[in-house]
């Protein structure tokens, strides 16, 4: 239930709130090695400097608010703007 509330809040913020921080195109595009405009878990794991790959995977799953297994630019930017833990992954 709590997870649903958090995901709902993130989705609402993605739709309505002005972003306080956006990723530079270089960060997203650097991680997006196959240049399909979305980030797979493998791409994120390869790009992440975080020592705990399990933590990266859990964060990826939280960031993937649509649940499609990929991060689009909006999902990526929202989380990078919201919390420092996500920003520290890269």
Q: State the DSSP code for 61.
A: H
Shortest approach of Ca ion to residue 20 CB, angstroms?
A: 25
Report how far residue 35's alpha carbon sits from residue 14's, in angstroms, rounded to the nearest whole number: 23
Please count the residues of the chain. 90
Whichever of 58 and 69 has its CB closer to Ca ion, that residue is: 69
Residue list 12-71, contact with Ca ion (CB under 5 A): 32, 34, 36
Shortest approach of Ca ion to residue 21 CB, angstroms?
A: 22
Whichever of 34 and 68 has its CB closer to Ca ion, that residue is: 34
Considering CB under 5 A, how many residues would be counted as binding Ca ion?
3
Query: What residues are paired with 40 via a beta bridge?
Result: 70
Report how far residue 42's alpha carbon sits from residue 84's, in angstroms, rounded to the nearest whole number: 21
- Residues at the interface with Ca ion (CB under 5 A): 32, 34, 36
């Amino acid at each position: 239930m709590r997870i649903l509330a958090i995901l709902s809040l993130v989705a609402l913020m993605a739709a309505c709130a002005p972003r306080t921080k956006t990723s530079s195109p270089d960060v997203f595009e650097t991680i997006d090695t196959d240049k399909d405009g979305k980030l797979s878990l493998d791409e994120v794991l390869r790009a992440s400097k975080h020592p705990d790959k399990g933590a990266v995977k859990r964060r990826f799953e939280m960031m993937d608010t649509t649940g499609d297994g990929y991060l689009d630019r909006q999902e990526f930017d929202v989380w990078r703007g919201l919390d420092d833990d996500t920003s520290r992954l890269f």
